[in-house]
């Protein structure tokens, strides 16, 4: 058979025969449609995906008592994370609406710019600057 394929005309004919044998006119039938089974296994509507707000700014503040406070502000303008130690887990703060003070875990933060007023548990209120 190797000698037959050396002739270009015979090789083309042999190739055409091989290809015609592979391209049968029969096609695989489509998968069965069972709408009832699909509706039982899949929800009718997918729940919308809600992503958390993105980080808007991370600021380090020095307060009047010379302590440091680390605050991460988020783009929804209603949530922030506060840490009194850089390695400590954050305390989540929320505001009832944008522009109102953030509160949570005994802390209150008014503002989100270069100067904020912070009330800490056991310390009272003080001004802090970034």
Could you state, in chain order, the average pLDDT of each consecutive group of 10 residues for the chain (130 residues)? 54 57 59 57 76 94 96 96 96 96 97 95 94
Task: Look at residue 46 in the predicted model and tell me its pLDDT.
Answer: 80
Q: What are phi and psi of 83, to 5 degrees?
A: -135, 135
Task: Look at residue 47 in the predicted model and tell me its pLDDT.
Answer: 84
Task: Look at residue 45 in the predicted model and tell me its pLDDT.
Answer: 78
- CA torsion 86→88→129→126, rounded to 10°? -150
Whole-number CA gyration radius for the chain: 34
Residue pair 127/64 in contact (Cβ under 8 Å)? The answer is yes
β-strand partners of 102: 109
For residues 93-113, one letter each, b for 16 or more C-beta atoms within 10 angstroms of the residue's C-beta and e for the rest, the string is: bebeeeeebbbbeebbbbbbe
What are the structural domain ranges in the chain? 55-129
pTM over 0.85: no
CATH number of the structural domain 55-129: 2.40.128
Task: Look at residue 25 in the predicted model and tell me its pLDDT.
Answer: 54
**What separation, in Å, do the N-terminal and C-terminal C-alpha atoms of the chain show?**
85
Residue pair 60/81 in contact (Cβ under 8 Å)? The answer is no
Task: Look at residue 5 in the predicted model and tell me its pLDDT.
Answer: 47
């Amino acid at each position: 058979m190797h000698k037959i394929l050396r002739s270009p005309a015979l090789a083309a004919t042999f190739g055409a025969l091989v290809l015609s044998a592979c391209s049968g006119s029969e096609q695989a039938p489509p998968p069965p449609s069972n709408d009832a089974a699909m509706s039982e296994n899949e929800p009718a509507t997918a729940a919308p995906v809600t992503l958390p707000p993105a980080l808007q700014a991370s600021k380090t503040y020095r307060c009047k008592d010379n302590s440091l406070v680390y605050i991460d502000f988020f783009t929804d303008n209603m949530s922030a994370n506060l840490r009194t130690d850089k390695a400590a887990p954050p305390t989540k703060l929320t505001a009832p609406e944008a522009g109102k003070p953030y509160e949570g875990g005994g802390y209150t933060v008014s503002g989100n710019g270069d100067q904020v007023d912070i009330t800490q548990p056991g310390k009272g209120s003080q001004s802090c600057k970034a």
